[in-house]
Amino acid sequence: MSTQKHLSPSVWAELFLLAVLWGAVFFANRIALDEIGPLTLVAHRTLWAALLLWLVIFATQTPLPRSPRLWGAFLVMGLLNNLIPFGLLNFAQLTIESGLASIFCRHGVGRVARRAFSCPTSASR
């Protein structure tokens, strides 16, 4: 198996588009937080994404799972992967810059929390 040594221009364009979208989300969140609360923002974000996904499901005629246990797993996954992290990030963006929030998002909530609670603050020095 050969390894890729160079990125094609189309891959660079996709990477640039990803970076612009990623940064724009945090920038837009910060602007929206001036008008609405953090949990309302999370609700809007997940509502519009869910509507889009339901449209894709209906357009592709994908069969829906019937198991209540599976829907329960979807609920838990939604809480752990969307509501809790995005809610915490939105609350954080009330006091920190969007760029810092995007870095925290990249490193995961657990890792950031461990760092925050293990580092001495400037007030305790």
Q: Indicate the pLDDT class of residue 21, thresholds 50, 70 and 90.
A: confident
In this structure, is the dihedral angle defined by the CA atoms of residues 116, 23, 43 and 107, taken in order, positive or negative? Answer: negative
Put simply, whether the predicted model's pTM sits higher than 0.85 gets the answer no
Report percent pLDDT > 70 for the chain.
Answer: 82
Between CA 119 and CA 100 the distance in angstroms is 17
Least confident range of 19-23, 29-33, 47-51: 19-23
C-beta of residue 83 within 8 angstroms of C-beta of residue 109 = no
Q: What is the mean pLDDT of residues 3-23?
A: 84
Average pLDDT rounded to a whole number, residues 45-53: 92
The encoded tokens of residue 125 equal 């020095």
pLDDT at position 120 over 60: no
For the chain, the distance separating the N- and C-terminal CA atoms, rounded to the nearest angstrom, is 54
pLDDT value at position 47? 92
Contact 42, 83 (CB under 8 A): yes
Phi, psi angles (nearest 5°) of residue 95: -125, -15
